[in-house]
Amino acid sequence: MAPGIAGNVYAFDLRFEKGVLRGDLQEVQPFDNASEAPVNIRWDTKSPYPAATWLLTDVAQVELPHGYQKIGQKRIDIPHSDGDHFWDHVQHGHGSGLILLLPAGYMLTYDLVPPISSNVQGYTRLGAKEHRGRIAILYLVEPTSGVHNLRTTWRLRKVSATIAEEVIRINSLPQPAHAPFHITVDGPLTQAPTPPTAKPPVGASPPDDNSSWWKNPAVLVALISLAGVLLTGYWQFVYKPAHDTAKNVVLAFFVEERGSGKAISNAQVILQRPTRQEEKQTDSFGTARFEVDPDKEQTLHVRVQAEGYQDGSQEIDAPSKNGGSYTVYLDSAPNAPPPTK
């Protein structure tokens, strides 16, 4: 891979199952031809770009350079040793990141300072926030030397303080003077491309030798017209859509087979809104996402259809300002052939 690419980010939704820590993983990683531009994680802010990728439904967004992909896997066992849990990164590029949505009722231990760390020397960044009654952790590391594999370690304990107090504790820990700069957090917006230099209209008289070309009246008219077109286009296609949808939140539906928890892809998810309905198909992770306005859409109903399964439906509570996620379980249809893969 190109030496200048940013790196990759792992995001885990963690839970304990019979004493074993497991996580559903979503990862963003570069292809061989990925652009040498930073990855920007939206941790405390929301991206104005519709193409920004969500991680763990709505824990964080990532603004990715060209040439990145998102992959996922469910129910991964998290390794542990001597009370510590750890994750071995397969690093692609300069740095790597880890987002942990901790199990409900758990926090990072006080026994380790810092409570999450890597086995390599480098630039790091640690942050925490509350997410739907759980603690979300962001940890970035950018080794100072060429390292392809690194390990991040943390230790959990049951909550002994409020979530707000724990978030303040994590965010108050000393941070290094220099944060990673290939994987950034809540970075500034990329400036819009500079429009091309306008050319004089066909048939316009050449400028006087003693004056600049832009003083030609015909050129000035062309520049003014171009400016009007650019402003109108910016308002219609950039500024207005971004602000019109600023109140929308993401509502995610996970469609799973009852009993096994198997994700059902290509299921038809029909969201009935107060005045209209919208249909989407689930992706390979069994997920379909909709944008809703929590101020206007108080009554919602979802219906799911999938080959080989009985239809499922669910009434949805009024979405919160932060959106939400719901799981719809489908039962196998009696005497139906197994669903096509």
Residue ranges matching CATH 2.60.40.1120 in the chain: 249-330
Instruction: Kindly indicate the confidence band of residue 245, based on its pLDDT and cuts at 50, 70 and 90.
Output: very low
DSSP output for 170-215: HHHS---SS--SSEEESPPPPPPPPPPPPPPPTTPPPPPTTS-GGG
Q: Which CATH architecture has domain 249-330?
A: Sandwich (2.60)
Q: Please give the pLDDT value at position 284.
A: 76
Specify the pLDDT at position 81: 92
Query: How confident is the model over 191-195, as a mean pLDDT?
Result: 27
Contact indicator for 257, 330 with CB cutoff of 8 Å:
yes
**Do the beta carbons of residue 154 and residue 87 sit within 8 Å?**
no
Q: What is the separation of C-alpha 136 from the centre of its chain, rounded to a whole number of angstroms?
A: 13
- The pLDDT tens digits for 15-36 are 999 999 999 999 999 987 888 8
Distance between CA atoms of residues 120 and 151, nearest Å: 8
pTM of the model: 0.57
Q: How far apart are CA 190 and CA 149, in angstroms?
A: 31
Specify the range with the lowest mean pLDDT, choosing from 79-83, 110-114, 212-216, 293-297: 212-216
pLDDT digits (tens, 9 = 90+) for 92-114: 888 999 999 999 999 999 888 88
